Amino acid sequence: MITSGKMQPGTRLKPTRELALDLGISRNTVSISYEKLHAEGLLETRRGSGTFVAHINNSLKLLETESDTQRMPSSRGQRALNSTIGFIADSELPLTPGLPALDQFPFDIWARLSSRFWRSEPKELLPYGDPGGYFPLRKAISTYLAAARGVFCDPTQVLIVAGSQAGIDTTARVLLDPGDSVWVEDPGYISGRNALSSSGAKIIPIPVDSGGLDTITGELISGNAKLAMVTPSHHYPLGSTQTLSRRNAILRWADNADAWILEDDYDGEFRYLGDPVSSLHTLDTIGRVIYLGTFSKILAPALRIGYLVVPKDLINAFVAARVVCDRHVAIETQAILCSFIDGGYLASHVRKLKEIYNSRRIALANELRKINYLVDVVDHGAGLHFIANLKKNVSDVKVSQFALSYGINTPALSTYAISRKDLNGLVIGFANTPESDAPWIIDKLKLAIHDAINS
């Protein structure tokens, strides 16, 4: 109170005995506090008069002193602030996109592996770890990727990061300078492009249609871009798959432009209709693709474990970026995940989730088709979400807001776009919504749509 100016110089303090009685504490405690304030020059004693607040220099006032002056962060800090305006942390609300089946998390297995880890007294893992990641986990992931996604790589090419966002941020630190142009899908992954823009990159929106990102348009708009961030196997949020011709085209562009491609394969394991779709990385024979994967959609976002697969000539630079950023992901989590993969639990868990997600997808889609006069379901049979386009002349943003008031989190499709104006729908996450909940959830969504129409 003294250093903030709330107690003015010359203010008389209560005697130690009186203040102790008021506060219900020991007089000795008050006396010691007064002595410390005397020693710091904040109090002065006047013989026969008592203890008073001293006249102090304004420079002693605490930084918390209220001020009308708004302190500004650096330009990069301001970009980060601007990019996260309106950000709301993921919730467990029904229909939340990108949220896995949290009720299916393998708690028993994870607890057993965790207990085994600590019982082994792993003293050698307690110091700072390898910034590239726990090597046994890197090896396990490389083996898993070869079998699950056809991505063949040396374990040293795998870098462990704290989720997809950290992977995108690390890529930007290594490959981009402020002002460099970056292709992003329009519409596309909002948090991903925010991570790129906050690094100082110039965001170039490239249109996406049923064949994925339009490489020809990208070359016409910004052929000299340094990076393209794409979701070729299951576009986020539209759900389309990039055609083979466009995949080859973007690889040719990257080679000719001396550019890089960041492939976000966020939910590539989950396809329910047709044959599995290979990653773009499998077609890359020139080392232009940085592959990004995550365990957030398989296990839980809170674990904060993702990974990058980088070309061999970039490994040292990416590891160095990890050193100057957050050093490494928690070793305990990495070691437990390694045991989870090596023990065959991950492959089994993914097979189980495919069946569960498919059932939940079908249940929600069937309920939505009961209100087909309001929405048109666009389901590509993959991932953890699909689209419900609105048929009525009503704003998807309004519908999303009303849905939230009913306890449902289904984002407006239009908010994922930068320049496109033709999108008007809802992004429906189905993975964390049990089949038995589908009827009442869609009833609530129906009310939200009617509320938006009548507002």
pTM, two decimal places: 0.82
Residue pair 371/446 in contact (Cβ under 8 Å)? The answer is yes
User: 3-state class of 231 per DSSP?
Assistant: coil
Assess whether the previous peptide bond of 187 is cis (omega < 30° from 0): yes
The verdict on 337 and 371 lying in the same domain is no
Q: Which residues pair with 263 in a beta bridge?
A: 230, 291
Query: Which of 343, 368, 392 finishes a domain?
Result: 343
The verdict on 382 and 359 lying in the same domain is yes
The verdict on 189 and 263 lying in the same domain is yes
Q: Give Cα separations from 337 to 110, 157, 300, 308, 384 (angstroms).
A: 8, 18, 12, 16, 22
> pLDDT grade, residue 389 (50/70/90)?
very high
The enclosing domain of 212 has a CATH number of: 3.40.640.10
How does the average pLDDT of the chain come out, rounded? 91
For residue range 97-148, what is the model confidence (pLDDT) as tens digits? 999 999 999 999 999 999 999 999 999 888 888 999 999 999 999 999 999 9
Average pLDDT of the segment spanning 360-381: 96
Average pLDDT of the segment spanning 82-104: 76
Q: How many CB atoms lie within 10 A of CB 145?
A: 22
> pLDDT grade, residue 331 (50/70/90)?
very high
Question: In angstroms, rounded to a whole number, what is the distance separating the alpha carbons of residues 267 and 279?
Answer: 11
Among residues 117, 121, 119, which one has the least CA distance to residue 342?
117
Q: Six-digit token pair at 186?
A: 């329009």
> pLDDT grade, residue 64 (50/70/90)?
very low
Question: In angstroms, rounded to a whole number, what is the distance separating the alpha carbons of residues 413 and 428?
Answer: 10
The verdict on 376 and 402 lying in the same domain is yes
The verdict on 367 and 329 lying in the same domain is no
Burial pattern 302-316, b for ≥16 Cβ within 10 A else e, equals ebbbbbbbbbeebbe
The verdict on 352 and 338 lying in the same domain is no
Identify the domain containing residue 125 by its residue range. Answer: 105-343
The enclosing domain of 30 has a CATH number of: 1.10.10.10
Residue pair 278/314 in contact (Cβ under 8 Å)? The answer is no
For residue 79, is it within any domain? no
Question: In angstroms, rounded to a whole number, what is the distance separating the alpha carbons of residues 218 and 236?
Answer: 18
The verdict on 258 and 168 lying in the same domain is yes
Question: In angstroms, rounded to a whole number, what is the distance separating the alpha carbons of residues 184 and 207?
Answer: 9
For residue 214, is it within any domain? yes
Average pLDDT of the segment spanning 399-405: 95
pLDDT for res 92: 81
For residue 196, is it within any domain? yes
The CB-side HSE value for 16 (13 A sphere, CA atoms) comes to 11
Domain count, the chain: 3
Residue pair 242/268 in contact (Cβ under 8 Å)? The answer is no
For residue 12, is it within any domain? yes
The verdict on 51 and 140 lying in the same domain is no
Question: In angstroms, rounded to a whole number, what is the distance separating the alpha carbons of residues 446 and 369?
Answer: 11
Query: Which of 19, 44, 67 finishes a domain?
Result: 67
Q: What single-letter amino acid sits at 167?
A: G
Question: In angstroms, rounded to a whole number, what is the distance separating the alpha carbons of residues 173 and 198?
Answer: 11
Query: Which of 343, 358, 384 finishes a domain?
Result: 343
Percent of the chain with pLDDT over 70: 93
- Residue 162 is inside which H or E element, if any? none
Among residues 53, 31, 34, which one has the least CA distance to residue 42?
53
Question: In angstroms, rounded to a whole number, what is the distance separating the alpha carbons of residues 122 and 127?
Answer: 10
Average pLDDT of the segment spanning 314-341: 92
The verdict on 21 and 46 lying in the same domain is yes
For residue 98, is it within any domain? no
Least confident of 67-81, 217-231, 408-422: 67-81
For residue 80, is it within any domain? no
pLDDT for res 1: 84
pLDDT for res 126: 87
For residue 95, is it within any domain? no
The verdict on 338 and 357 lying in the same domain is no
Residue pair 138/132 in contact (Cβ under 8 Å)? The answer is yes
The verdict on 218 and 339 lying in the same domain is yes
Average pLDDT of the segment spanning 226-252: 96
Least confident of 4-8, 23-27, 212-216, 403-407: 4-8
Alpha helices in 325-434 (DSSP H): 331-342, 345-369, 396-405
